[in-house]
Amino acid sequence: MPWRKVRFKGKLVLARCEADGSLRAEGGRVEIRYRAGDARAYRAGLRNLQAEAEAEAAVEILPDDTCPPAREAAAGGTAARRSSSGRPRSGPAGASGATKSASGTPSPPPPPDGAVMLYTDGACSGNPGPAGVGVVLIDGSRRRELSAYLGEATNNVAELTAIAMGLDAVARDGHCQRPVRLYTDSKYSIGVLVQGWKAKKNVELIVALRQRLEAFEDLHLHHVRGHAGHPLNERADELAVEAVRGQRSVDWVDI
């Protein structure tokens, strides 16, 4: 299966394509590599890929052996956990039974039965600049999505606001007593919320969000690496980017 060059969030990458140069999408996502010879495979939303060539006739089709067989990139990071007493504490993801990827990077442990899962992300065009958030909520077979435009903000504010909106949705549904697992690619958010980082900016927002955390009996915040091929994390990113591009908000939608 051949490759072609496309733009993904401003970066030139290689994407799987058909012989005629059309991108090969499975479930709306396309396999990409960041450079020739890279074995790490990622999945990007079709709508986030832009043709490098101005005319399709000028597309350069590269052979299959441009990149070696895929080694799926796995997310990693640390899991920020709350104790049964409700006080934040943190530690390595492995302490909660996490597995490791082929590269040895810790991955978040599987969620417990009955957990509500939140995938949150913020996007910002410039920093500060037009900002948006995206949230994907999974509750058993139920899936809901939120895309919200914030106006002028920083990336950190967008990341924190995405977390707040996700937790507010769980609280409104009356699920604060259930296990909640939240996944974000923002180390900053986890640091200032549960790892004791001293906040120099966004203090009011952080204090308010810390208070929100106290309402949940079993809440874990997990860091995952962004753009590492996790479909729901990538979907949250897509929703945030869509909000910025369209400068509009789409309230919770059942998928």
Q: Encoding tokens for residue 208?
A: 């308010």
pLDDT of residue 122: 94
- Evaluated on CA atoms 101, 113, 120, 208, the torsion sign reads negative
Domain end (from 21, 37, 72): 72
Mean pLDDT of 49-59: 56
Active-site residue identified among 38, 145, 185, 238 = 185
Give me the mean pLDDT over the 101-112 stretch. 61
Number of domains in the chain: 2
CB atoms within 10 A of CB 18: 12
Do residue 88 and residue 161 come from a single domain? yes
Are residues 98 and 202 both part of a single domain? yes
Catalytic residue, candidates 145, 234, 237, 238: 237
Residue 228 and residue 183 share a domain? yes
Task: Read off the pLDDT of residues 57-79 as tens digits, 9 standing for 90 and up.
Answer: 467 889 888 888 876 443 334 44
Q: Which helix (H) or strand (E) holds 45?
A: strand 40-45
Catalytic residue check, 218:
no
Could you report the per-residue pLDDT of 126-171, keeping only the tens digit for each?
888 999 999 999 999 999 999 999 999 999 999 999 999 999 999 9
Does 125 lie in the same domain as 56? no
The pair of three-digit structure tokens given for residue 78, joined into one six-digit string: 């640390």
Tell me the CATH number at 190: 3.30.420.10
Do 168 and 182 touch, CB atoms closer than 8 A? no
Angle of helix 187-194 relative to helix 203-213, nearest 10 degrees? 70
pLDDT in tens, 111-121: 888 999 999 99
- Looking at the fold, whether 126 and 21 belong to one and the same domain comes out as no
**104 an active-site residue?**
no
Contact call for residues 244 and 125 (beta carbons, < 8 A)? yes
Check if 185 is active-site.
yes
Q: What was the pLDDT predicted at 27?
A: 67
Alpha helices in the chain (DSSP H): 155-172, 187-194, 203-213, 231-246
Distance CA(248)–CA(122), nearest Å, equals 14
Residues 56 and 97 in one domain: no
65 noted as active-site residue: no
Decide which of 27, 56, 72 is a domain's last residue: 72
Q: Does residue 237 have an active-site annotation? A: yes
> Given 159, 234, 238, 242, which residue is catalytic?
159
Nearest Cα to Cα of residue 84 among 217, 175, 190, 215: 217
| 138 DSSP β-pair partners | 117, 143
Q: Could you tell me if 131 and 180 lie in one domain?
A: yes
Domain boundary among 12, 37, 72: 72
CA 149 to CA 159: how far, in whole Å? 12
Res 55: pLDDT? 40
Q: Which of 33-37, 101-105, 140-144, 208-212 has the lowest mean pLDDT?
A: 101-105
Q: Which of 31, 121, 234, 242 is catalytic?
A: 121
Q: Are residues 64 and 101 in the same domain?
A: no
Q: Same domain for 92 and 212?
A: yes
Cβ–Cβ under 8 Å, residues 209 and 192: no
Q: For the chain, what is the radius of gyration of the CA atoms? A: 19
In a shared domain, residues 148 and 236: yes
- Using the Cα atoms of residue 214, residue 156, residue 121 and residue 184 in order, give the sign of their dihedral: negative
Structural domain for 118, as ranges: 78-254
**Active-site residue, selected from the candidate residues 76, 122, 132, 229:** 122
**What is the per-residue pLDDT for 146?**
95
User: Is there a catalytic annotation at residue 227?
Assistant: yes
Indicate if 44 and 131 belong to the same structural domain: no
Residues listed for the chain:
255
Q: Which two structure tokens, joined as six digits, stand for 219?
A: 């809440």
Same domain? 243 vs 123: yes
